[in-house]
Structure 1
Amino acid sequence: MNNIFFDLDGTIINSEKGIMGALKYMYTKTDGFVPHDDDTLRAFIGPTLSESLKKYDNLDFDNPLSQERFKAFKEYYQEKGVFDYSVYDGVYEMMENLKSQDKEIFIATSKPEVEAKKIIDQLDMKKYIRHVFGATDDEKTRSLKADVISYGMRKTSVDLNSENLVMVGDRSSDIIGAHQNDLKAIGVTYGFGNAEELSEAHSEWIVNSPLEVPEVFKK
């Protein structure tokens, strides 16, 4: 496996502070109060906002209230939240290690592609990452992780297939999205998911730190 798709939130960066701020702003602006506790709000991180609104608020994407919440979330997140994050310890060392193994590294995230590219630029990670693939800004035509992975596999000039590509992510959506594209996946427990969630999604490998990721490729 010479090519790697990395999730962004919960795998490269800890984006909890910015996303939680946007979620609380979203509910306060549209409902006047926040209907969920922090543990529930953390579960929003990873899947698309439309998925989470459907799961936790029973709102389809086309519902007017869903659209109002989506607009409020974007209002806060694009202004304040997008750069309110930290990089997980060991990520830069992981990137260096993988590059020394001649791995080609890509980002495949459910975050809008424009925002993801800004973050990678700010982190000075373009020297490691060949391309960033993300969701469309409206979450309509490309938002599910399976769709982002498929899009990335088609768009790059590299011949990516199930024999030479693996997905790395922290949530079940990353693992399921990989499997839907006939890829194997490495689940990481240091993000927003946990070993139980990743195991139930049938992740082929589960690691506990960024520095364990390169070790998978040495086995």
Structure 2
Amino acid sequence: MSILLLDVDGTLIDSLPGIQGGFRHTLDQLGWPHPDQQFVDHIAGPPMEVTLRSLGMSPELAQEGLQIYLDYTRRGGWANATSFPGMLELVRSWKAAGLTLATATSKGEEFARLILEREGFLAHIDFLGAAQEDGPRRGKSAVIDHVLATNGWDVDTSDILMIGDRTHDIEGAAEHGINTVAVAWGYGTPAEWANAARTAHTPTDLEGIVHDWLAARG
């Protein structure tokens, strides 16, 4: 059994426009000053309340901000996203080759399902692993734990490969002894990718890396 854990935002889906729109709306509703553009360009990845707390908000205010953000997303912000070129075809080919595919995203489950279905990915995903919009399963490690525990796969960690774009993907997978391939078309930085087992700069690169991983396992 060969399992690929797939991040969504920044890996399969370019959701940054919608996330940025919701983030700015949240700050405006809270009367909080906007950070510089460099900060805003890298907000995709961690749970929104983590991002808000990094601005200096109290836990209580960050939770209030999260609810504002979720309401914005629910009212249509989720739809301001598109799939990265080549990724649907790659996911489709992995599924046809017999790999087991699961998402492991910090995106809320409702919103992940909506965008993955609209963009055609959901039909090729064996398990939708995502965060809870209103619950304790928020960070990447908790989502991966949910995916593994729910499916009960009797495999070694060498049979699983995480694919993502941010340090949260790499660190969350590492907590479970799982290696990550970082994708350079997402929202991470070279410093983040340096902690991954490999870095793919194009979907063709990623296809080759996964092929090599499968071949090395025999």
CA contact (8 A) 1:3 1:160 kept: no
Query: In the TM superposition, what whole-angstrom CA distance separates every residue of 1:96-124 from its partner, at most 9, and x where no partner exists?
Result: 33224321111110011122112222122
Query: In the TM superposition, what whole-angstrom CA distance separates every residue of 1:58-98 from its partner, at most 9, and x where no partner exists?
Result: 2343x2x2232122211211112111101101112211332
User: Could you tell me which residue of structure 2 aligns to residue 119 of structure 1?
Assistant: 115
The structure 2 residue matched to 1:159, chosen from 154, 161, 166, is: 154
The range that moved more, 178-187 or 124-133, is 124-133
Relative to structure 1, is the Cα distance of residues 59 and 161 closer, same or farther in structure 2, using a 3 angstrom cutoff?
Answer: farther
How many residue pairs align between the two structures? 212
User: Could you tell me which residue of structure 2 aligns to residue 43 of structure 1?
Assistant: 42
CA RMSD of aligned residues (A): 1.6
Instruction: Indicate whether 1:187 and 2:186 are aligned.
Output: no
Amino acid at match of 1:44: I
SS in 1 for 2:181: strand
User: Could you tell me which residue of structure 2 aligns to residue 109 of structure 1?
Assistant: 105
Runs of 4+ in 1 over 6 A off after TM superposition: none
User: Could you tell me which residue of structure 2 aligns to residue 218 of structure 1?
Assistant: 211
Amino acid at match of 1:6: L
CA distance in structure 2 between the partners assigned to 1:142 and 1:114 by the alignment: 13
Amino acid at match of 1:176: E
TM-score when scaled to structure 2?
0.91
TM-score when scaled to structure 1?
0.90
Amino acid at match of 1:29: Q
Relative to structure 1, is the Cα distance of residues 89 and 49 closer, same or farther in structure 2, using a 3 angstrom cutoff?
Answer: same
Instruction: Give structure 2 stretches of 5+ with no counterpart.
Output: 213-218
The structure 2 residue matched to 1:58, chosen from 50, 56, 63, is: 56
User: Could you tell me which residue of structure 1 aligns to residue 168 of structure 2?
Assistant: 173
User: Could you tell me which residue of structure 2 aligns to residue 209 of structure 1?
Assistant: 202
CA distance in structure 2 between the partners assigned to 1:125 and 1:143 by the alignment: 22
Instruction: Indicate whether 1:22 and 2:47 are aligned.
Output: no
Instruction: Give structure 1 stretches of 5+ with no counterpart.
Output: none
1:157 shift after superposition: 4.7
CA distance in structure 2 between the partners assigned to 1:160 and 1:134 by the alignment: 21
CA distance in structure 2 between the partners assigned to 1:23 and 1:165 by the alignment: 33
CA distance in structure 2 between the partners assigned to 1:96 and 1:153 by the alignment: 22
CA contact (8 A) 2:113 2:122 kept: no
The within-5 A match list for 1:57-96 is 57-61=55-59, 63=60, 65-96=61-92
CA distance in structure 2 between the partners assigned to 1:97 and 1:177 by the alignment: 26
CA contact (8 A) 2:163 2:183 kept: yes
